[in-house]
Copies of this chain bind each other. A is one copy, B any other.
Amino acid sequence: MKNLVIDMGGTRLKIGLFADSELLQSAVVPACSQENFENTLRIIEQEAAKLLNSFSMAGIEGIGLSIPGIVHTKENRVISINEKYNDSIHFDLNAWAKKRWNAKLSTENDARAALAGEWQYGAGKGTDNLVMMTLGTGIGGAALIEGKLLHGKHFQAGCLGGHFCIDFQGERCNCGNLGCVETKGSSWVLPSIASSKGYKADPIDFKSLFTELEQGHTKAREILQISMDAWGACAVNLTHVYDPEKIIIGGGVMKSKEIILPHLRNWIKEYAWTPWGEVEVETAQLEDTAALYGMDYLLKTM
């Protein structure tokens, strides 16, 4: 089966051409996520034409879109999306796939697409009960229960792992909730945590903080402790609500996995209630291509 799959990031579009589950080639191009959504589709069409050309392919059978928002996967439409590809909500993706590609279409939230990829080809291979946590600017997530991606009535189940309240008397999150994991452990909150600790650096990000931590910088340790404890609390909550065998952690910050993984494993060992044994915690393996592989898999199982 020949599939074209696209991972629509806020700053980059990743486009992959698959044949019989093999990623033949991929391209990464700048996204224009703030512009008219039709511009994005035009870029996809142009890049796809190049990919197809280089393999002398006349067409594709399936097209898959991994979208950074809440997606109605049965009707293939974007329900809610924030600060990128905003007008995709009004777009008839089915008609586009039919008219432009004469191919079947699969759409999915990007975190679920990545989890599907990790499940089939990466860190989740061989287990049907997985949770993914992606640490970065925000905290993303997805859940797979008994071999099925969890969607919920309004297609937002599993995706809001960063918006657990873990501090019910805490500060307001940008989602509107109180004391979400993101208010303690995402890169957007680092400046305010740092300033409350009297630490000054500009820019301030996880990468520089972890480097300083390794150099023995006390303030960096104090700041990261808050984030890492919040991630730990999030992982325990995910364990309690979705009952997985394994939690997969993704995101650029996992370059510091030697520090993060032991912390999360210890936190879970100490605080999770799992009379059956212990949840495994592993780093995502596919990184940039997880959502591409995931979408190819979802197309195959449609």
Contacts and interface: CB of A to CB of B under 8 A. Distances in A.
A240 B160 contact: yes
A151 B242 CA distance: 8
Is the interface on chain A under 10, 10 to 19, 20 to 34, or 35 or more residues?
Answer: 35 or more
B169 A157 contact: no
Contacts of A37: none
B178 A242 contact: no
Given A166-B166, A230-B168, A154 B276 contact: yes
The A interface is mostly helix, strand or loop, or mixed, namely loop
Interface of A: 70, 79-80, 128-129, 145-146, 150-158, 160-161, 163-169, 175-179, 184, 229-230, 232-233, 236-237, 240-245, 270-276
Contacts of A161: 241
Contacts of A229: 168-169
Given A145-B150, A154-B243, A273 B176 contact: yes
A145 B157 contact: yes
A242 B166 contact: no
Given A166-B166, A243-B155, A176 B145 contact: no
Count identical subunits in the complex.
2
22 contacts: A129-B153, A146-B152, A146-B153, A152-B242, A153-B244, A154-B243, A154-B274, A154-B276, A156-B243, A157-B241, A158-B241, A161-B241, A163-B273, A164-B240, A166-B168, A176-B270, A176-B271, A176-B272, A176-B273, A178-B271, A179-B233, A237-B237
A238 to B, nearest CB: 8
